[in-house]
Amino acid sequence: RDWLVYQAGGLHIEDVCLSAVARAVPTPFYCYSADAIRSAYKYLASAVNPIGVSICFAVKANSNIAVLGLLAELGCGMDIVSGGELERALAAGVPASKIIFSGVGKTRAEIARAVEVGIHQINVESAAEITAVAEVARGLGQRAPITLRVNPDVDAKTHAKITTATKDSKFGIPIGDVADLYAEAAAMPELEVLGVAVHIGSQIHDMSPFRRAFSAMADLVVFMRGRGLVVPRLDLGGGIGIASNDTPGPDIAEYAAIIAETVGHLGCQLTVEPGRWLVGRAGLLVTEVLYLKEMQSGPMAILDVGMNDLMRPALYDAQHPVLTLHEPRTDRAAPHYSLVGPICESSDQFGTYDRLGEMRAGDLLAFDCAGAYGASMASTYNSRDLVAEVLVEGSRFRTIRRRQDISEMLRLEQAGRWQFPAPE
């Protein structure tokens, strides 16, 4: 990554020294490279656009509207999973005609808003949801564009908590039930039934589950067309993994080739919904070492960043690479440090790291590959400030989300007036 380098003794994002940012913005904060996000989009687009695939960014991975805006400017669409994400995408300037609404539990209010603004499509996940969308559309006097999300029963073999397409997962409609439901939905005047969608999981490195899932989708489309159904769209979901220290990233050319080989002949409008791949490597989480503590197992560094700011290690045992903001000190054989946060939970730990050199209190560190599912999953647990976000572009930086502090949290907790429940 040419935008992340040590220069003049300090770690730089593009032309901005991260230590200098940390003098202006209190730690912890997320910091993204605009150039890295743009380059990732352009790289993926150049591989998949020529085979007729458009890209909708999975907003859940990083929902900051400045980030969404960068992608939108390049022509990227969005994949959303809530009314909140819909408002974010619209606020970032994404036309509704480029927004896909995924998710297993959409409320009627969310569905209504999506139909009203003219959403590109709603990916529906159950028979009951088909009925709900049809009722909402009827109420509005509009037609709702839908696709059916298919559960192809393919195990993506990643972490159990991010696998979504095995038989017992809550996502999608079992592949064997899709054609009948599709025919029923297509007969409803309130619905415009446009195709099928699939998403098999996340952080996928081995491409073979994609091949299996996409082939299953191709067979399904052919089968449905054989029954006289019209299937113009095919949404292939997200899930492409990213490189970290010791794993190379998946080969995007191979991913594109798999799409072309498995579904290219169908003549469908194709979409992919990557989240992590577009932004994961474009962001770091900057933190300060508060204290060092000598443990029997070795030294421990207590950081000012906690599991509330970066949940992935506690939730998925993810280990993010860690960099020092100063050029690593190589003066001594470096000890292994275990890095922990300030939260009162034993799962508030980030793993053990070597190659950090000898550390001192006050040192600044950065968790790498934190641009996806970092800030967007952060919380205020332990009544800590909601973490800030900063964007670097060239030689400048700016805050794109300021810290939400305790005064704002307390304002939300002003008790309402007592009310008596109204009779039915």
Tell me if 110 contacts ligand LLP by CB under 6 A. no
Q: Cα separation of 332 and 382, whole Å?
A: 37
Q: Cα separation of 279 and 37, whole Å?
A: 6
Q: Cα separation of 226 and 223, whole Å?
A: 5
How many residues lie near ligand LLP (CB under 6 A)? 21
* Of 183 and 243, CB closest to ligand LLP: 243
Binding mask 263-282 for ligand LLP (x = CB under 6 A): ----------xxxxx-----
Tell me if 120 contacts ligand LLP by CB under 6 A. no
Q: Of 63, 124, 111, nearest to 88 (Cα)?
A: 63
Among 3, 223, 316, 381, binds ligand LLP (CB under 6 A): 316
3 state SS of 327 = coil
- Region from 107-115, 196-204, 284-292, 349-357 binding ligand LLP, contact rule CB under 6 A: 196-204
3 state SS of 310 = coil
* Of 49 and 399, CB closest to ligand LLP: 49
What one-letter code names the amino acid at 361?
Answer: A
Among 203, 262, 308, 349, binds ligand LLP (CB under 6 A): 203
Distance of CA 242 to the CA centre of its chain: 12
Tell me if 250 contacts ligand LLP by CB under 6 A. no
Among 16, 17, 61, 193, binds ligand LLP (CB under 6 A): 61
Sites for ligand LLP among residues 11-40 (CB under 6 A): none
Q: Cα separation of 251 and 240, whole Å?
A: 9
Q: Could you tell me where the beta strands, DSSP code E, fall in 83-211?
A: 99-101, 121-124, 144-151, 173-174, 191-197
Among 77, 209, 239, 371, binds ligand LLP (CB under 6 A): 239
Sites for ligand LLP among residues 325-364 (CB under 6 A): none
Tell me if 121 contacts ligand LLP by CB under 6 A. no
Determine whether the annotation assigns residue 239 to a binding site. Answer: yes
Among 145, 172, 238, 371, binds ligand LLP (CB under 6 A): 238
Q: Cα separation of 96 and 100, whole Å?
A: 8
Determine whether the annotation assigns residue 275 to a binding site. Answer: yes
Q: Cα separation of 123 and 118, whole Å?
A: 14
* Of 121 and 324, CB closest to ligand LLP: 121
* Annotation marks residue 369 as catalytic: no
For residue 17, report the phi and psi dihedrals to the nearest 5 degrees: -80, 125
- Tokens 């979409």 sit at which residue? 271
Catalytic machinery residues: 344
Instruction: List contacts with ligand LLP (CB under 6 A).
Output: 58, 61, 79, 102, 162, 199, 202-203, 237-240, 273-277, 312, 316, 372-373
